[in-house]
Structure 1
Amino acid sequence: MELTQYLKGTLRWWWLIVLSTIVAGVGSYVASMQQPRIYQTTTTLMVGQVFQKTDISGNDFTLTGLLAQSYAQVTTRQPILQATVDSLGLDMSWQALKNQVYAAPIPLTQLLAISVQDVSPQRAVAIADEIAYQLILQSPASPENQQRNERSEFVHTQLDDLEKRISTAQARVVELDTELASALSARKIQDLQSEISGLENLINDWQVNYRNLLGFLEGGDTPNQLTIIEPAQLPYSPISPDVQTNVLLAAAVGFSLAFGAALLLEYFDNTVKSTDDLTVPSIGLTSLGTISNIDGMNLNDKLVSTHDLFSPITEAYRQIRTNIQFTAIDQPARSIMVTSSNPGEGKSTTAANLGIIMAQANLRTIIVDADLRRPTLHKMFQVPNLGGLTDLLSSESLDIDNQLKDTGIENLKIITSGPLPPNPSEILGSQRMMQLLQQLERVADIIIFDTPPILAVTDALVLSKRVDGVILVIKSKSTRRDSLKQSLERLNQVGAKLLGGVLNGMSGGSKGTIYHHYYTHSEQHKVSGQSSSSSPTRRWWQRVLPVFKS
């Protein structure tokens, strides 16, 4: 079975796929709506004062980047989180709070992001800001953790010393410039220039140190200083649950699972379901037509072709009759055997309705119940089975007229099975059966034989090589492919001429049903209101309309 057939087969399970998709989506929506809303907010800190410096070096960025990573680790440790819990009076442990906090440096920056998730947006903001405050409070650069006054006095002393050094050096540079202006020898000039250059370098270094110390006094410039540059903002939309994403994902999963299940069902389902299964190369059976399920508890209800001339099923049998004529256009099949692979696949119903359709086309038709094991045609046509085929084959003379029973349908006669013999296969394969077939062809245009299933007994195979054509009835979603293949092999082995297959028990009607319903509804309206089915007009329609349609 090809992949395309598997994919087509999954269309039969469209309801399962749609239902699974809807159930998964709705279930996900209900579950998402019952989950608590989680809000997230973020406080951003800057490590160091790099942007306030006029002479930034690569080492500054490297150092503060490493510090940001260290602070990210410290943020989720016990000292910071416990202090936050105590400060805000939270009814939770610091371990529980840790599950709500995420801290990480922003790549390629000196920024540290502290994110907090909570069911309350206000509490999330309070926790994020408090963690940032506690981190600053407990950092080495915090004023509370420094001996600020002592260090300030030391810095002032250093500033005074640097001022004196810078002033002295600058005065010395002025003196050297004066000497340089009056110097005459090259050696003297070179020495003075060298001394001036050295003093200027010292002055520059002292000035840099002076500015750094002055910056410390003014802003406390240290590499590990923390500054809040963006406090936490009140979130208005929850980040979880993401209802739309959850529903889409659940629907996709439901669709995928249902589609996969449908593929598996098709893979393991070895039954014939459509005409495409008949025409695959591995089977190669011509499709003569499809028949829908026939409603009705009684066997007589199966004779749809007599009860409703305008039903889609009746039209399907007409189509089968037409296809039979086209398959044997060079040598018309006058004797046709109808059989199936297994019991209960609708061979007797097909044989009976096909005989009726042939008779409605003004063809003299005889249906022979050759199922000498489980005959049913006499029950369908409601005729006695006191005598029949077995009587003809066992009597000395082939008196067909005595065994032809009237069906109440013009041009249609039936030969019932008669008493059941102990040796059906031998009787059907006898020379007497061949003589009977020749005699029937003299008095009828079409002879239709209903035989037992092929795989059950050999009766059908014995008769199949004596008739002009064989029709194999396959029941949709019931007949297995291996059974069908086995039946075809047996028919080919005995040299039977196979006209094609009829797919029976199709759900939803056969092809053309919609058009035919539209067409025949108009015809029914025209003939409605007649006194009875036996009125002249009604009988004229019953005889002429099928011929016109053919």
Structure 2
Amino acid sequence: MNTTQQTDDTTDLKELFFSLIAQWKLIAVCVLLSLICAILYLRVTPATYAVDGLVQVESGKGGASAALLGQQLSSIMDTTGLGQQQAQAEIQILQSRLVLGTTIQTLNLDIQVKPTQNSLLQRIITKPDFQTQYSAEGIAIHNDSDNFTIQELKVPESFEDKALILHISGDQLTLTDKKTDLEVFKGKLNKNNIMSNPYGTWRIAIFSKAPLHQDYILTKQALPSAVKSVLDNFSATEAGKQTGVINITYQGEDSLHITHVLNTILSTYKAQNVQQSSAEKEQTLAFLNKQLPTLKADLDDAERKFNAFREANNTVDVNQESELYLKQSIDLETQKIQLQQKQAELAAKYTSEHPMMQEVNAQLGAINKKIGELDTTLKRLPDIQRRYLQFYRDVEVKNQLYTNLLNTYQTMSVAKAGEIGNVRIVDMAIEPVKPIHPKKLNILILSLFLGGFIGVLLALLRNMMQSGIKDASQIEDEFNISVYATVPRSDLQLRRTHLLKKKRQLPILAVKDSEDGAVESLRSLRTAIYFALGKEHGNQVILISGTSPEIGKSFISINLATILAQSGKRVLLIDADMRRGYLQQYFATSNNLGLSNLLTDNVTELNQVIQNTHVENLAFISRGKSPKNPAELLNTGKFVAIIEQLKQQYDHIVIDTPPLLAVTDAAIISQSVDLNLLVVRFAKSHLKEVDITINRFKQSGREVHGVILNDIHKTSGAYGYGYDYQYSYDYKSRK
């Protein structure tokens, strides 16, 4: 053994590439299976459509703010963001039970219907034609030849979210709990059924003009479950930061149905928004209706007192300074009353620490301070003028406040009548043309790549698991034994196992296709036998053995013997595998008489067991009937005498022996031969097996003269010494 060998851990990319090409069938099968799975997936997966809509949220002041606060305080509130409806708040409203729940009840979306016969196999075989149309009147179901309508389905709370099997026979309909298989309702078809039983009250109305051909599964969902089902297919997102534009999408398998559902959601949302805005104005109008009579009464009382004072004191001369004081007093009193009203409104919403409350309180404090200063100044006026100014101020303040509220009331009434809300439906949903998924082309392309990837992965794993000998140099470097032939794989050789099971005659490759690459390789072996070893051994008796079963030693034996015979030599082929030999199938001869008969003295004449074959110059001795002790028969010395006698009649004797690691027959036979050849199989035989086999021969006092590397894959990239696989094909094409 060569102890100077260095381990090469590098990867031969060329060999790896050729090994993948050699397993192209495995990769092709994986790609095909992946493509079939993709087609089946597309077959059973229904198309999903998507519709979208667009909503614009407009900012605006509330009716109460505009009416009661005036421009100054409304501006203050706008700077803090109070009253402005943000897009995120509207998205939450869109996803609320207020909107979705109303839509569900309007379209009866809380009723789910599906056929009982809807298995995966049925969807693969036939494409289902199941359609449901939801409306306020009920649900219309169409399934092949079945057509019926569910106008009402109300079940007890204990049966909500439970699957109920609908069965119709004649004019009778029954509902059965799918889980318990108990009949829970029985009623009439084409009739409004209202019934109470131990389970609760049922209200069911199902109409059909013809009997149904199969049963159906009905599920009445509770409102939270129905809302969740809608939300699973519904989404609302703001289209850009702080744009106030909301993009709404809804997905489903029925393009017409999802369009109808989304438009209903948009209409419901718009209606509730208008209703909310109208409710705000209604509140403001109710407040004004309470305030106006009180202000009117205060104004009338102030005017009576002022007129009575004027009649009692006739005309009072008011100088310009007093008029200025009067104007300032009226303005301050008006502002004070407005701020007090706003303070009362904010106190219902916020605490005294809120910035809005603090702002109003600060303004009230400033106005009260100015009023106090003005009152101090007015006290210095003469009593008549001071009282005149007070009465006149009360009349003007109450008259101005009453006039403002009356104008606000009229404006609010007009606004309520023309209320359109603060949201605008920009785009309604339209029925889609193409589904959003599954994307057939993408899935098919992905399946091809996935199948190819899995195929390559399996090929690489298979190649890694095949840790056997893949290069002739491994044998020569490890054991210092020459490899005299590298025999490529033959398609005919691959059919051998199939033909053996059929018990049909096996074709001899050297006869059937003499230009095959394997035959050319064995011709190089014949040349090596003639020239490389001929002078030393004579090479008359050739033993062919192997390390283990299923390595192709019988294939090598029959074709080498044929090639030797084709060169004009007298050749005898002996099947010495008395346990499992099958060389007789190459010649379609009987196995009744053979080597075992000679060794057991059942037959004494060699001519009785030697058979002529259809190959010129080639004779054959079969294994005969299987004995119980073939190793003992070979070890009696009679086999040596038989070989010596046969050597006088033939130029070459080729002996096919059992594998040495399985039995010792080959070691015994090797004592009588001139040349020991060992067959190893590409990627299957291991160096350890070869090492043990060589040691077995050495223990018997014999040696292995050469090795034959068999079954090299066509694209393995392996080249043998004394034989170039690619060259053999070039040689074949030249011939």
Task: State the Cα deviation string for residues 412-461 of structure 1 (Å, max 9, x = none).
Answer: 34456679877644665677766876786676554311112323320113
Alignment of 1:94-109 (within 5 A): 95=224, 96=226, 99-100=229-230, 102=234, 104-106=236-238, 107-109=240-242
Secondary structure at the residue paired with 2:710? Answer: strand
2:26 alignment partner in structure 1: 13
**CA drift at 1:345:** 6.0
Decide whether the 8 Å contact of 2:39 with 2:444 is kept in 1.
Answer: no
Gaps of at least 5 residues in structure 2 are 1-8, 62-70, 108-134, 140-220, 296-326, 333-406, 715-724
Equivalent in 230, 238, 246 of residue 112 of structure 1: 246
Is residue 44 of structure 1 aligned with residue 55 of structure 2?
A: yes
1:457 aligns with 2:590: no
Tell me whether 1:499 sits opposite 2:707 in the alignment: yes
Residue pair 1:338, 1:451 contacting (<8 A) in 2 also: yes
Within the candidate set 224, 230, 235, 2:426 is matched to 230
TM superposition shift of 1:376:
5.0
Q: Quick check: 1:132 aligned with 2:145?
A: no
When normalised by structure 1's length, the TM-score is 0.59
Residues 415-430 of structure 1 mapped to structure 2, 5 A cutoff: 424-425=630-631, 428=634
Aligned partner of residue 660 in structure 2, secondary structure: coil
Q: Which residue of the partner structure matches residue 524 of structure 2?
A: 322
| Equivalent of 2:576 in 352, 362, 370 | 370
Of the three residues 679, 691, 697, the one matched with 1:472 is: 679
Residues 248-257 or 103-112, more deviating? 248-257
Greater shift in the superposed pair: 81-90 or 350-359: 81-90
* CA drift at 1:123: 0.9
Aligned Cα root-mean-square deviation (Å): 5.9
Matches of 2:444 and 2:457, distance apart in 1: 20
Q: Counterparts of 2:650 and 2:269 in 1: how far apart (Å)?
A: 104
How much does 1:23 deviate?
Answer: 1.2
Give yes or no for the alignment of 1:69 onto 2:88. yes
Does 1:287 find its partner at 2:486? yes
Q: Deviations over 1:46-93 (max 9, x none)?
A: 15149xx9x99996679858x432332222222333444566764598
Give the distance between the partners of 1:38 and 1:410, measured in 2 at CA. 77
Letter in 1 for 2:39: V
**Matching residue's letter, 2:573:** I
Seen in structure 2, the aligned counterparts of structure 1 residues 71 and 293 have a Cα distance that, compared at 3 Å, is: closer
In 2: Cα distance, 1:516 partner to 1:435 partner: 46
Q: Is the 8 A contact 1:287 1:502 kept in 2?
A: yes
Secondary structure of 1:45's counterpart equals strand
Whichever residue aligns with residue 577 of structure 2, its letter is: D
Provide the C-alpha distance between the structure 2 equivalents of 1:85 and 1:263, rounded to a whole number of angstroms. 55
1:210 aligns to what? none
Between Structure 1 and Structure 2, which shows a larger proportion of strand residues?
Answer: 2
Match of 1:31 among 41, 44, 48: 44
The structure-2 alpha-carbon separation of the partners of 1:373 and 1:505, relative to structure 1 and needing over 3 Å to count, comes to farther
Select the residue among 678, 689, 702 that pairs with 1:486. Answer: 689
Q: Identify if the C-alpha distance between structure 1 residues 299 and 370 changes in structure 2 by more than 3 Å, giving closer, same or farther.
A: farther
More helix per residue: 1
Deviations 1:351-391 (A, max 9, x none): 22321111112344332333344565567547788987679
Task: Answer with 445-454 or 293-302: which moved more.
Answer: 293-302
Worse-superposed segment, 355-364 or 235-244: 235-244
For 2:314, the equivalent position in structure 1 comes to: none
The alignment's TM-score, normalised by the length of structure 2, stands at: 0.47
Structure 1 residue 467 displacement after superposition: 3.8
Tell me the secondary structure at the aligned position of residue 242 of structure 1. Answer: coil
Q: Determine the C-alpha separation between the residues in 1 that align with 2:431 and 2:524.
A: 75
**Residue in 2 aligned with 1:266?**
462
Relative to structure 1, is the Cα distance of residues 130 and 446 closer, same or farther in structure 2, using a 3 angstrom cutoff?
same
Q: Tell me, yes or no, if the aligned pair for 1:407 and 1:413 is still in contact at 8 Å.
A: yes
Gap change, CA 1:409 and 1:68, over 3 Å in 2? closer
1:433 and 1:517 map into 2 onto residues whose CA distance is 41
Q: Offset at 1:28?
A: 2.0
For residues 111 and 379 of structure 1, do their structure 2 counterparts lie closer, same or farther at Cα, with a shift above 3 Å needed? closer
Task: State how far apart, in whole Å, the 2-side matches of 1:152 and 1:113 are.
Answer: 41
1:148-227, aligned counterparts within 5 Å?
Answer: 148=285, 226-227=422-423
SS at match of 2:573: strand
- Whether the aligned pair in 2 keeps the contact of 1:125 and 1:233 (CA below 8 Å) is yes
Q: Deviations over 1:473-512 (max 9, x none)?
A: 65x9xx9657x95365223442442421333999xxxx88
Separation of aligned partners in 2, 1:517 and 1:117: 67
Which secondary structure does the structure 2 equivalent of 1:147 belong to?
A: helix
> CA contact under 8 A between 1:279 and 1:287: conserved in structure 2?
no
Comparing 424-433 and 231-240, the one that deviates more: 424-433
| CA deviation after TM superposition for structure 1 residue 230, in Å | 1.6
Contact 1:454 1:460 in 2 (8 A): yes
Specify the alignment match of 1:22 in structure 2.
35
Distance 1:391 1:87, change over 3 A: closer
In structure 1, how many angstroms separate the alpha carbons of the residues matched to 2:557 and 2:542?
Answer: 9
Task: Give the drift of 1:257.
Answer: 9.1
Equivalent position amino acid for 1:226 in 2: N
Aligned-partner residue type, residue 486 of structure 2? S
Give how far 1:250 is off: 7.4
> How far apart, CA to CA, are the structure 1 residues paired with 2:106 and 2:607?
113
Aligned counterpart, 1:161: none
Q: How far, CA to CA, are the matches of 1:69 and 1:45 in structure 2?
A: 12
8 Å contact kept, 2:58–2:422? yes
Distance change >3 Å, CA 245–CA 268, structure 1 → 2: same
Q: Percent identity?
A: 19
Q: Look up the SS of the partner of 2:423 in the other structure.
A: strand
**2:489 is paired with a residue of what secondary structure?**
strand
Counterpart in 1 of 2:507? 302
